[in-house]
């Protein structure tokens, strides 16, 4: 190996390690966001928390990325798709925050990790990315893992698990829309429209559900939910700029570890054995799907919700 080739290889390895660190930081931010949303939703309307997540995120992002500093930021080849994508993400966030009122963080997240299976199913008719028999088997095993977590009809998890299931469907549709829109628009433009659509929808709702926070700590958290969402997505974009999606994707599952830690420290929740078994099945199946995606056409990492 020549010196220049060795230098390039070392540089690529360093960039990948930085990308992995950024990805790990992003999912930690999303786990913090979920924990704050669950805490706030325990004593105020969940729609208020959703609204503040988008309002604060929009104005925070506006400071660093706006049409004045980036003249082409608002230029999009698919404005209708950008709006639909923003509404899908808003639906996912709303259903997630509602489910947090009743479910443990690890339970809700284990169900949300079914999204790669739903994306694989939907990608065929919508993107022409058809699934082979190996991935169909992985999808079936993954849904079995979700059923282990939910245990329908067996006196298992709360009915609010259906909110997480619905959220996963919206998130899968959002991921498909993201793949479609990223063929035409930049990541910065797409992130800006996601915050803009969420803020535009939720800002008129905010006065209808507003309850004055009872403490300065609640005020800080209401502002922080948007900040952690924006920072998480920003780290995600930076990670994808430094490492391939196939390298980054497995690290999204570290969010379950963070959710378990926050669930225990903040809410004294201990994961049940069924949740752990189901999460293991879901994550294993998801990792296999990512592996098959990489083998066939190169993995496309999902964008985190929240």
Q: What percent of the chain has pLDDT over 90?
A: 28
Domain ranges of the chain: 15-296
Q: What percent of the chain has pLDDT over 70?
A: 86
Report which DSSP code applies to 80.
H
- 61-89 residue pLDDT tens: 888 877 877 888 888 988 999 999 999 99
Query: Average pLDDT in the 246-269 region?
Result: 82
Pick from 122-131, 180-189, 285-294 the range whose average pLDDT is largest: 180-189
Helices (H) and strands (E) in the chain, counts: 13, 0
- 143-196 residue pLDDT tens: 787 777 776 555 556 778 889 889 988 988 888 888 788 788 888 888 889 899
pLDDT at 305 over 80: no
Question: Among 34-48, 108-122, 167-181, 243-257, which stretch is predicted with the lowest mean pLDDT?
Answer: 243-257
Residues 6+ positions from 121 with CB-CB distance below 8 Å: 131, 139, 172
Residues 6+ positions from 128 with CB-CB distance below 8 Å: none
Mean of the per-residue pLDDT values for the chain?
A: 82
Query: What pLDDT is attached to residue 5?
Result: 64
- 204-257 residue pLDDT tens: 999 999 999 989 999 999 999 988 988 888 887 788 777 776 667 677 778 888
């Amino acid at each position: 190996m020549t010196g220049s080739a060795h230098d390039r290889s070392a540089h690529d390895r360093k960039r990948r390690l930085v990308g992995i660190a950024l990805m790990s930081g992003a999912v930690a931010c999303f786990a913090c966001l979920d924990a704050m949303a669950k805490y706030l939703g325990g004593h105020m309307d969940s729609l208020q928390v959703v609204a503040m997540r988008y309002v604060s995120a929009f104005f925070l992002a506006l400071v660093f990325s706006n049409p004045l500093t980036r003249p082409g930021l608002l230029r999009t080849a698919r404005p209708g798709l950008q709006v639909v994508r923003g509404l899908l993400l808003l639906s996912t966030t709303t259903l997630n925050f509602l489910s947090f009122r009743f479910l443990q963080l690890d339970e809700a997240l284990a169900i949300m990790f079914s999204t790669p299976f739903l994306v694989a199913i939907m990608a065929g008719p919508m993107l022409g990315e058809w699934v082979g028999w190996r991935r169909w088997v992985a999808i079936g095993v993954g849904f079995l893992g979700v059923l282990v977590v939910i245990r329908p009809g067996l006196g298992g998890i709360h009915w609010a698990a259906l909110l997480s299931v619905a959220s996963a469907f919206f998130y899968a549709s959002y991921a498909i829309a993201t793949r479609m829109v990223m063929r035409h628009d930049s990541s910065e433009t797409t992130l800006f429209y996601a915050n803009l659509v969420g803020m535009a929808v939720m800002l008129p709702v905010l006065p209808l559900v507003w309850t004055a926070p009872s403490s300065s700590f609640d005020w800080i958290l209401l502002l922080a939910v948007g900040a952690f969402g924006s920072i998480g997505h920003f780290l995600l974009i930076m990670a994808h700029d430094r490492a391939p999606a196939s390298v980054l994707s497995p690290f999204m599952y570290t969010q379950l570890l963070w959710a378990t830690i926050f669930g225990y420290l903040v809410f004294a929740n201990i994961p049940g054995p069924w949740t752990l078994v189901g999460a293991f099945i879901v994550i294993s199946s998801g990792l296999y799907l990512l592996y098959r995606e990489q083998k066939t056409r190169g993995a496309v990492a999902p964008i985190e919700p929240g």
